[in-house]
């Protein structure tokens, strides 16, 4: 009887043996860090456009001076804005609140006439504003440097960067446009400007002139 019982016990232990479950190891709780996307307008707003863009925009103008020649007649800030498509800080320019009754605004680089005093108006934007230009004085280009489509305006004689033009803002002007121009891109000649235009390349004085 006892021997029979000992034979049964191992069998019972096998029957009631609980199954074992293998669990897969938990993966480590890793966090993937993604770098912040680049924000192009922070560098582009007060910086400049790429070399390729500048080359395509300045290759078809009458005044074809080299960069070294421009550096010889422009101040560093004028060169940055006019030749590298930079932007001056708002509310800092000489001509922002300049309000003459007559006179002509010319390109600070090549001295070509661009705007008359009658074109200027107070927009409150922080840069000189003009509702129109002297016919044929300004050329427009599409500019997508800030991730949006804008219209850049440049001097038709030398391709110097002036600023951008905006439409449909509702200003009480004869043409619903605002030429937002860097002061450093401009010079000013009193009167009608005739007989006062300076030949490009002579570089009489660097910096803005009033």
pLDDT reported for residue 172 = 95
In a domain, 19, yes or no: no
pLDDT in tens, 117-151: 999 999 999 999 999 999 999 999 998 887 888 99
110 tagged catalytic: no
Assigned domain for 155 exists: yes
In a domain, 30, yes or no: no
Residues 79-103: b if buried by 16+ CB within 10 A, e if exposed: bbbbbebbbbeeeebbbbebebeeb
Residue 25 lies in a domain: no
Across residues 104-128, what is the average pLDDT? Answer: 98
Residue 205 inside a domain? The answer is no
What is the tens place of the pLDDT at every residue in 184-197?
A: 999 999 987 554 54
Range of the domain at 184: 40-189
Inside any domain, residue 203: no
Is the pLDDT confidence value at 153 over 50? yes
Could you say which of 110, 155, 158, 180 is catalytic?
Answer: 180
Tell me the CATH number at 55: 2.170.150.20
The reply to whether 73 falls in a domain is yes
Tally of domains within the chain: 1
**pLDDT computed for residue 41 by the predictor:** 38
Residue 168 or residue 4, greater confidence: 168
Tens of pLDDT, residue by residue over 5-58, are 455 555 545 544 555 545 555 554 444 333 334 333 333 444 444 444 454 455
**Could you please report the per-residue DSSP string of 95-120?**
TSS---SS-EEEETTT--EEEEGGGE
């Amino acid at each position: 009887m006892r021997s029979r019982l000992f034979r049964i016990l191992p069998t019972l232990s096998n029957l009631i043996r609980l199954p074992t479950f293998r669990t897969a190891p938990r993966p480590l709780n890793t966090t993937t860090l993604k770098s912040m996307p680049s924000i192009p307008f922070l560098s582009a707003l007060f910086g400049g456009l790429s070399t390729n863009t500048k080359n395509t925009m300045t290759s078809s103008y009458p005044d074809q001076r080299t960069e070294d020649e421009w550096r010889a007649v422009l101040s560093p800030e004028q060169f940055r804005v006019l030749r590298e498509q930079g932007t001056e800080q708002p509310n800092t320019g000489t001509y922002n609140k300049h309000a003459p009754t007559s006179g002509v605004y010319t390109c600070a680089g090549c001295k070509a006439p661009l705007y008359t005093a009658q074109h200027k108006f107070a927009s409150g934007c922080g840069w000189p504003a003009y509702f129109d230009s002297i016919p044929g004085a300004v050329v427009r280009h599409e500019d997508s440097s800030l991730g949006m489509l804008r219209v850049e305006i440049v001097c038709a004689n030398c391709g110097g960067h002036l600023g951008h033009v905006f439409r449909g803002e509702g200003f009480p002007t004869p043409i619903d446009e605002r030429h937002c121009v860097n002061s450093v891109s401009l010079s000013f000649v009193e009167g009608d400007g005739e007989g006062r235009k300076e030949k490009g390349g002579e570089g009489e004085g660097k910096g803005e002139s009033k």
